[in-house]
Amino acid sequence: MTTEDTTTETVAEESSNDPTNDDMLIQTDVSESVSASGTESTRTIVESRNVNVWYDDDQALQDISMEIPENQVTAMIGPSGCGKSTFLRCINRMNDLIDAARVEGELYLGGKNVYDADVDPVALRRRVGMVFQKPNPFPKSIRENVLYGLKVQGIEVDEDEIVEQSLRRAALWDEVKDRLDESGLELSGGQQQRLCIARAIAPDPEVLLMDEPASALDPIATSQIEDLIDDLAEQYTVVIVTHNMQQAARISDKTAVFLTGGELVEFDDTQKIFENPESDRVEDYITGKFG
Ligand SMILES: Nc1ncnc2c1ncn2[C@@H]1O[C@H](COP(=O)(O)OP(=O)(O)OP(=O)(O)O)[C@@H](O)[C@H]1O
């Protein structure tokens, strides 16, 4: 990837009545880049520099450096235990919640290191939403599920508007618009996962992290989630962990291949990774020779 141009913007977040804004002045260093194909101009939104993670004495990630482009889908693939989920959790500091975890290195979101002392992890998680493997709606109504994140953070919004907008973006509105006060647990698995996506996007995050979001779903629901991810990338940056290489090939623009030991072996355009990877180890993994 060639760095073409670098501009710096300053974004002052209003603190006003919003307790999640922490009065921090975010220096946004936006790198303008051209993809390997030379056809798309993209900006880097997440950049990791030499990120290392340990769980007690065991190292889970080794020196991970990569630039994740804005408004694209970036897939993380690799064999079980190679650190994909650990890396995802570095981006929104969910590893902070694991006592044994220790993170070193720098992880920039819009040019600001999220591990700086002045970053509030709760405010960060509003900017970086997350969807998990198993749909996990709360035992509350569909409406309350969508509004949950905003309400716990005390953010006042036009509730009807946010509920409709989030459910529309999650491709669920038409199926639930007449039953918004019914429990989210009464929906099918695929609908529950789209409800969780609506809940994650209601606070309008910049980045959406998805940790194997379709692995617990049937093929039809999986296909709906894949179509949805494609649509979401028009508005959000999506970073997805998947065990399913065909899924990564279908839905992602960029692919990062992690291999055993927590090493990022190759990161490039998805087409290049699947058709002509640089690394023999990646080729062996992609072609099923190991992993
Ligand atoms: N909470 C934890 N405490 C201790 N070790 C952990 C914890 N979470 C993950 N690990 C270890 O860190 C390493 C990387 O795990 P991680 O879940 O990030 O891998 P992964 O590639 O996402 O795996 P999978 O594809 O199976 O979900 C593994 O060795 C795992 O056992």
Nearest-CA residue for ligand 1 atom 5 is: 55
Nearest CA to ligand 1 atom 7: 55
The pLDDT tens digits for 255-271 are: 999 998 999 999 999 99
Q: Where are the domains of the chain?
A: 2-286
- Determine which residue's CA is closest to atom 24 belonging to ligand 1: 80
Q: Using an 8 Å Cβ cutoff, are 133 and 139 in contact?
A: no
Measure 84 CA to ligand 1 centroid, in angstroms. 8
What would the mean pLDDT of 203-217 be, rounded to a whole number?
94
Nearest-angstrom CA–CA distance, 284 and 281: 5
Q: What percent of the chain has pLDDT over 70?
A: 85
Pocket of ligand 1 contains residue 93 by CB under 6 Å: no
Mean pLDDT score, 208-222: 93
> How far is ligand 1, taken at its centre, from the CA of residue 192, in Å?
25
83 Cα to the center of ligand 1, angstroms: 6
CATH 3.40.50.300 fits 2-286, yes or no: yes
pLDDT in tens, 99-147: 999 999 999 999 999 999 999 998 999 899 999 999 999 999 999 999 9
What is the DSSP annotation of 122-178? HHHHHHEEEE-SS----SSBHHHHHHHHHHHTT----HHHHHHHHHHHTT-HHHHTT
Q: Is the dihedral of CA 94, 97, 98, 100 positive or negative?
A: positive
Classify strands 112-113 and 73-77 as parallel, antiparallel or unpaired: unpaired
User: Which residues lie below 8 Å from residue 72, measured CB to CB, with a gap of 6+?
Assistant: 42, 233, 237, 238, 252, 253, 254
Is pLDDT of 49 > 70? yes
Q: pTM of the full predicted structure?
A: 0.86
> Ligand 1 centre from 78 Cα, in Å?
12
Ligand 1 in reach of 100 Cβ (< 6 A): yes
d(CA 165, CA 70): 22
**Residues pairing with 240 in the sheet:** 75, 210
Span 214-243, mean pLDDT? 93
ipTM above 0.90, yes or no: yes
62: tokens are 């080794």
Cα 106 from Cα 49, distance rounded (Å): 5
Return the SS3 of 245.
Answer: helix
